[in-house]
Chain A
Amino acid sequence: MTTKNKSAGVNRRQFLSGATAGVAAAALTNPAAAQQGSSQAGAQLAAVTPPSAAAEAMEYDVPEGYSAEEAREYFVRHPGSDFMVDVIKDLELPFITTNPGSSFRGLHESIVNYGGNSKPELLTCPHEEQAIAMAHGYAKVAGGKPIGVLVHGTVGLQHASMAMYNAWCDRVPMVVLGGNHFDATERRSGVEWSHSAQDAARVVRDFTKWDDAPLSLQHFSESMARAYKIATTPPMGPVVVIIDGHLQEAEMGSQAPTIPGVAPTVPPRGGAAALEEAARWLVEAENPVIVVDLMAHDQDGVERLIELAEALQAPVVNQAGRMNFPNTHYLSQGSGVVAQADVILGLELYDTWGLLNTLRDRVHRDEQRIARPDARVIDIGVKDLFIKSNYQSFQRYHASDLSIAGDAQETLPSLTEEVRQQMSRARRASNSEREQRWRAAHAQTRARDLDAARYGWGASPVSTARLYMELWQLVKDRDWALVSNDSLQSRWARRLWTIDRHYQHIGRAGGAGLGYGAPSAVGAALAHRAHGRLAINVQRDGDLMYVPGILWTAAHHEIPLLSVTHNNRGYHQEFMHLQRMAARRQRGIDGSSRVGNELDHPAIDFAKVAAGMGVWSEGPITDPNDLRPALIRALDVVDQGEPALVDVICQPR
């Protein structure tokens, strides 16, 4: 991204034209009209001496058959939003997801016609929540490179808000643009008023890193660069820039804005002295355990963690907010190892307290310590670098023994170096015994998981293990990526598939706000499309019902994605909560758990829903033996570059 001076192409005609000239002309004939003009336009006006009508007619390209005055009223040659497109192109945002709205009709037109609808390309989403979740999914598999989102600043941001909360909790960057009309005197009656706000970004401010509402094109240019920089500096997160309708639509006029460019910020790293101390604790530990959550931005993060884990021969518990560590590596272990640890290294943990303790779900919630009482905790991450007060996504406070502020992926190489330096010969010699131990434990877990998958193998509804293993047979030799989270399907992908590339598992929603799964999968599939990867989405029924329109987006923009439903005909998670309440109150649950929880009677025919959106589909499949042939047919469609959906009636988990 470069610094460009856009003033070169702006001559006197552009300098004084459009709205500014319009206000100027009005001021000459009607001082009252000038007084009504915005203070912004007024300030610009003060610096400008209006040219004579003759001079203006000479300078202005007046189409044949129009007077200069008519042309001034009818046509705009250099709208501010063209420059906005220049700025967006300079940021290299490849896509902008959007749901159209008049508060940004100027920018919409500029993107399409002036920008050629390419880099950025607009992607139509029938709900703003989808637009945001698509951007969320995209950034997670594009190494943290954000895309843009363009919505109404009022009703659009209200729709977008929950999805932005997910992105905030998940530390995922995106640049959200919201249209608005600042100047009350420039608003047409009706919708332009109800779709304007004094402070449009306020509705999402609790869960965005930064927002601004620029009043000039230069201000816009600088705020966009700042927004991009803030969004992509760890801890990453969504940012919002509110764009004034008038600024978009009016002639650039006297403004000669420049594009400052983005100088990326080097991510923060842990300090050397603290890392030396951390390395000493880890090397001296009998049972060091590494727990990792929102860490790896890309494959480098995975490789760096392998180096550290192998240097220590320490097990890694992957909480899988990101794909951080290969599940087939022998040091990949279940969370049970935390209980034995004497030193725990936490990397970008979302919840340190919850790793060490639990609050049981009983009438009187009691705390139980999971970790050893004497276990020492080293916490490396960016969570203390940026925090907001209202929403409680930061989890319970834990006084870690050594808390190091810094991006964990960036910090790992120095920590690993320190560990290597501090390893005595004796300590190094103990590594082979440790390695044997973890290899055996890993093999045992693998055998247990395979054995567990047998149970219910022939069941109808289809077992989730069967679903994943039928899929695996078809995809394992291809370049695939799972763009959904398998947590609510008993983690079968992470238990039985081979996941060794960062892009092969997308992690979780962040704020657990539903309506994330389907659109984030489509966003991730869009990012994978550029690499020709097969994107696979195991899609929950409840989640899809929030935002089924995303299927149409996938069809419309030809985003290849294989969706297979985990259709348990209900909000299963909530069934279980209701059951717990009924048992606790000794009222029994016979039949009543369906109320408010089932997605049945009538059963939703997702194959028909998908077909109605233009997506190839098959189902509902109830016999597990019918699954493989249906998946093969669906894959054929996906290989043609289209989305496909197979509806499978499944066991609850």
Chain B
Amino acid sequence: MLAKPCTVARALSALLILMCVEVSFAQDADQAASDGRALFTANQCWQCHGYEGQGGAAVRIAPTLYPFEAFARLVRHTNLMPAYSPNVLSDEKLRQIYEYVRSVPEPPALEDIPELSGD
């Protein structure tokens, strides 16, 4: 049975709304990530974790699989890194940094880097 035209129109508009929500959500996430990158730089996270969060003096943090709560706990209460209290880094800013760290794409696979897969 064919769907009634009004049903199709309704479904289409619902899809459109959903897509818009998704697009604006993605835009928000992009914005948060780019704000986060600025905060990542300003708060000097890169000093120990590298500009791409790839690690260095401290562990790799990007791309991260941690939920935000675990990430925040490590920043505020860890034994190793200097503890960043909410007085110097609010939850909101920390979340933006988290969004950036999450947005860092996976690097190429080992097989695609001849210098690492050659010997």
Which residues on A are within 8 Å of B, measured CB to CB?
Answer: 360, 362, 450-459, 461, 463-464, 466, 469-470, 472-473, 476, 490, 572, 575-576, 579-580, 582-584, 586-591, 593, 651-653
**A653-B50 CB under 8 A given contacts A457-B108, A580-B82, A593-B44:** yes
Interface string of B34-69 (1 = CB under 8 A from A): 000000001110111011111111001010000000
User: Which residue from B53, B88, B109 sits with its C-beta under 8 Å from A588?
Assistant: B88
CB neighbours (8 Å) of B52 from chain A are: 455-456, 459, 463, 651
Q: How far is the CB of A99 from chain B (nearest CB, A)?
A: 36
Q: A450-B117, A456-B52 are in contact. List 6 more A-B contacts (CB 8 A).
A: A450-B116, A455-B54, A456-B51, A469-B116, A587-B88, A652-B51
Q: Is the pair A588, B51 in contact by a Cβ cutoff of 8 Å?
A: no
Q: Is the pair A450, B110 in contact by a Cβ cutoff of 8 Å?
A: yes
Q: Is the pair B47, A579 in contact by a Cβ cutoff of 8 Å?
A: yes
B85 interface hit (Cβ, 8 Å): yes
Could you tell me the distance between the alpha carbons of A48 and B50 in the complex, rounded to whole angstroms?
A: 76
Could you tell me the distance between the alpha carbons of A586 and B85 in the complex, rounded to whole angstroms?
A: 7
Q: B62's closest neighbor in chain A, by CB?
A: A455
Q: How far is the CB of B3 from chain A (nearest CB, A)?
A: 48
B14 interface hit (Cβ, 8 Å): no
Within 8 A of A (CB), among B72-98: 79, 82-85, 87-89
CB neighbours (8 Å) of B89 from chain A are: 588
Q: Is the pair B88, A579 in contact by a Cβ cutoff of 8 Å?
A: no
User: Which residue from A453, A466, A591 sits with its C-beta under 8 Å from B42?
Assistant: A591
Could you tell me the distance between the alpha carbons of A579 and B42 in the complex, rounded to whole angstroms?
A: 12
Could you tell me the distance between the alpha carbons of A576 and B56 in the complex, rounded to whole angstroms?
A: 12
Q: Is the pair B115, A472 in contact by a Cβ cutoff of 8 Å?
A: yes
> Max chain B CB contacts within 10 Å: which of A459, A580, A583?
A583
> Max chain A CB contacts within 10 Å: which of B56, B83, B85?
B56
Q: How far is the CB of B37 from chain A (nearest CB, A)?
A: 13
CB neighbours (8 Å) of A586 from chain B are: 85, 87-88
Could you tell me the distance between the alpha carbons of A529 and B50 in the complex, rounded to whole angstroms?
A: 36
Which residues on B are within 8 Å of A, measured CB to CB?
Answer: 42-44, 46-48, 50-57, 60, 62, 79, 82-85, 87-89, 107-110, 113, 115-119
Q: Is the pair A454, B116 in contact by a Cβ cutoff of 8 Å?
A: yes
CB neighbours (8 Å) of A362 from chain B are: 79
User: Which residue from A360, A576, A590, A652 sits with its C-beta under 8 Å from B50?
Assistant: A652
Q: B89's closest neighbor in chain A, by CB?
A: A588
User: Which residue from B46, B62, B82, B115 sits with its C-beta under 8 Å from A652?
Assistant: B46
CB neighbours (8 Å) of A461 from chain B are: 51
Q: Is the pair B116, A651 in contact by a Cβ cutoff of 8 Å?
A: no
Could you tell me the distance between the alpha carbons of A116 and B109 in the complex, rounded to whole angstroms?
A: 60
Q: How far is the CB of B1 from chain A (nearest CB, A)?
A: 53
Q: Is the pair B56, A490 in contact by a Cβ cutoff of 8 Å?
A: yes
Could you tell me the distance between the alpha carbons of A591 and B43 in the complex, rounded to whole angstroms?
A: 8
Could you tell me the distance between the alpha carbons of A451 and B108 in the complex, rounded to whole angstroms?
A: 10
CB neighbours (8 Å) of B108 from chain A are: 454, 457-458
User: Which residue from B47, B50, B109 sits with its C-beta under 8 Å from A575?
Assistant: B47
5 contacts between A and B (CB under 8 A): A583-B84, A587-B88, A589-B43, A590-B44, A653-B57
Could you tell me the distance between the alpha carbons of A321 and B34 in the complex, rounded to whole angstroms?
A: 43
CB neighbours (8 Å) of B82 from chain A are: 579-580, 582-584
Could you tell me the distance between the alpha carbons of A453 and B109 in the complex, rounded to whole angstroms?
A: 11
Could you tell me the distance between the alpha carbons of A473 and B53 in the complex, rounded to whole angstroms?
A: 25
CB neighbours (8 Å) of A589 from chain B are: 43-44, 88
Q: Is the pair B57, A454 in contact by a Cβ cutoff of 8 Å?
A: no
Could you tell me the distance between the alpha carbons of A470 and B118 in the complex, rounded to whole angstroms?
A: 12
> Max chain B CB contacts within 10 Å: which of A454, A463, A470?
A454
Q: Is the pair B51, A651 in contact by a Cβ cutoff of 8 Å?
A: yes
Q: Is the pair A452, B113 in contact by a Cβ cutoff of 8 Å?
A: no
CB neighbours (8 Å) of A452 from chain B are: 55, 60
Q: A589's closest neighbor in chain B, by CB?
A: B44
CB neighbours (8 Å) of A490 from chain B are: 55-56
Q: Is the pair B56, A652 in contact by a Cβ cutoff of 8 Å?
A: yes
**A576-B47 CB under 8 A given contacts A451-B110, A473-B115, A490-B56:** yes
Q: How far is the CB of A307 from chain B (nearest CB, A)?
A: 27
Q: Is the pair B79, A360 in contact by a Cβ cutoff of 8 Å?
A: yes
CB neighbours (8 Å) of B50 from chain A are: 455-456, 459, 463, 651-653
User: Which residue from B56, B107, B109, B119 sits with its C-beta under 8 Å from A651?
Assistant: B56
**A454-B47 CB under 8 A given contacts A583-B82, A586-B88:** no
> Max chain B CB contacts within 10 Å: which of A362, A450, A576?
A576
CB neighbours (8 Å) of A476 from chain B are: 119
Q: A653's closest neighbor in chain B, by CB?
A: B56
**A583-B54 CB under 8 A given contacts A453-B116, A589-B44:** no
CB neighbours (8 Å) of B62 from chain A are: 455
**A590-B113 CB under 8 A given contacts A651-B51, A652-B50:** no
Q: A468's closest neighbor in chain B, by CB?
A: B115
Q: Is the pair B47, A652 in contact by a Cβ cutoff of 8 Å?
A: yes
User: Which residue from A450, A463, A470, A582 sits with its C-beta under 8 Å from B54?
Assistant: A463
CB neighbours (8 Å) of A591 from chain B are: 42
Q: How far is the CB of A521 from chain B (nearest CB, A)?
A: 22
CB neighbours (8 Å) of B118 from chain A are: 473
Could you tell me the distance between the alpha carbons of A446 and B110 in the complex, rounded to whole angstroms?
A: 13
> Max chain B CB contacts within 10 Å: which of A455, A576, A589?
A455
Q: A585's closest neighbor in chain B, by CB?
A: B88
Could you tell me the distance between the alpha carbons of A451 and B117 in the complex, rounded to whole angstroms?
A: 10
Q: Is the pair A464, B56 in contact by a Cβ cutoff of 8 Å?
A: yes
Q: How far is the CB of A467 from chain B (nearest CB, A)?
A: 11
Q: How far is the CB of B96 from chain A (nearest CB, A)?
A: 14
**A457-B107 CB under 8 A given contacts A472-B115, A576-B47, A593-B44:** yes
User: Which residue from B42, B47, B110 sits with its C-beta under 8 Å from A572?
Assistant: B47
CB neighbours (8 Å) of A466 from chain B are: 115
Q: How far is the CB of A554 from chain B (nearest CB, A)?
A: 28
Q: How far is the CB of A50 from chain B (nearest CB, A)?
A: 74
CB neighbours (8 Å) of B117 from chain A are: 450
Q: How far is the CB of A324 from chain B (nearest CB, A)?
A: 23
CB neighbours (8 Å) of B46 from chain A are: 652
Could you tell me the distance between the alpha carbons of A451 and B60 in the complex, rounded to whole angstroms?
A: 11
Q: B86's closest neighbor in chain A, by CB?
A: A586
User: Which residue from B48, B53, B85, B110 sits with its C-beta under 8 Å from A454?
Assistant: B110
Q: Is the pair B84, A456 in contact by a Cβ cutoff of 8 Å?
A: no
User: Which residue from A450, A576, A588 sits with its C-beta under 8 Å from B48?
Assistant: A576
Q: Is the pair B44, A469 in contact by a Cβ cutoff of 8 Å?
A: no
CB neighbours (8 Å) of B115 from chain A are: 466, 469-470, 472-473
Q: How far is the CB of A409 from chain B (nearest CB, A)?
A: 31
CB neighbours (8 Å) of A580 from chain B are: 82
CB neighbours (8 Å) of A450 from chain B are: 110, 116-117
Could you tell me the distance between the alpha carbons of A96 and B102 in the complex, rounded to whole angstroms?
A: 56
> Max chain B CB contacts within 10 Å: which of A457, A461, A490?
A457
Q: How far is the CB of B103 from chain A (nearest CB, A)?
A: 14
CB neighbours (8 Å) of A576 from chain B are: 47-48, 57
Q: Is the pair A652, B116 in contact by a Cβ cutoff of 8 Å?
A: no
